[in-house]
Amino acid sequence: MKRFLGLLIGVSVLLGNNPANADEINCGSLHNGFGPYDFRYQFGEPKRLVESAHFPPYVESLLRGRTADAVGGDIDYTLRAFPNHHRALLSMMNLATRERTGKPPGSRFSVECWLDRAERFAPDDGMVKVLWATWLIKQGNKAEAEEKLAAGIKQAPEMNTNFDYSVGLAYFDLKRYDLALAAAHRAYRGGFPLPGLKQKLMKAGQWRDPPPLPAPTQTPDNVANESQEKTAPTPSAE
Question: Concatenated DSSP letters for the chain?
Answer: -HHHHHHHHHHHHHHHH-HHHHHHHHH--S--SS----TTT--SHHHHHHHHHH--HHHHTTS--SSSSSHHHHHHHHHHHSTT-HHHHHHHHHHHHHHTSSS-TT-SS-HHHHHHHHHHH-TT-HHHHHHHHHHHHHTT-HHHHHHHHHHHHHTPPTT-HHHHHHHHHHHHHTT-HHHHHHHHHHHHHTT----HHHHHHHHTT---PPPPPPPPPP-HHHHHHHHHHHHSPPPP--
Tell me the average pLDDT across 216-230: 58
Mean pLDDT calculated for residue range 29-52 = 94
C-alpha radius of gyration, the chain, whole number: 24
* 166: nearest Cα among 73, 65, 174: 174
Mean pLDDT for the stretch of residues 154-179: 96
Instruction: Tell which wins on pLDDT, 45 or 15.
Output: 45
What pLDDT is stored for residue 214 in this prediction? 75
Instruction: Work out the burial of residue 148: count CB atoms within 10 Å of its CB; fewer than 13 is exposed, 13-18 middle, 19 or more buried.
Output: buried
Residue pair 148/129 in contact by the 8 Å Cβ criterion: yes
| Closest by CA position to 71, among listed 58, 62, 82 | 62
Mean pLDDT of the 51-65 span: 97
pTM assigned to the model: 0.80
Over residues 99-107, mean pLDDT: 96
Greater model confidence, 4 or 134: 134
Give residue 201's pLDDT band: very low, low, confident or very high (50, 70, 90): very high
Per residue in 191-218, is it b (16+ CB within 10 Å) or e — as a string? ebeeeebbebbeeeeebeeeeeeeeeee
Q: How far apart are CA 198 and CA 95, in angstroms?
A: 25
Model pLDDT, residue 158: 87
| pLDDT score of 14 more than 80 | no
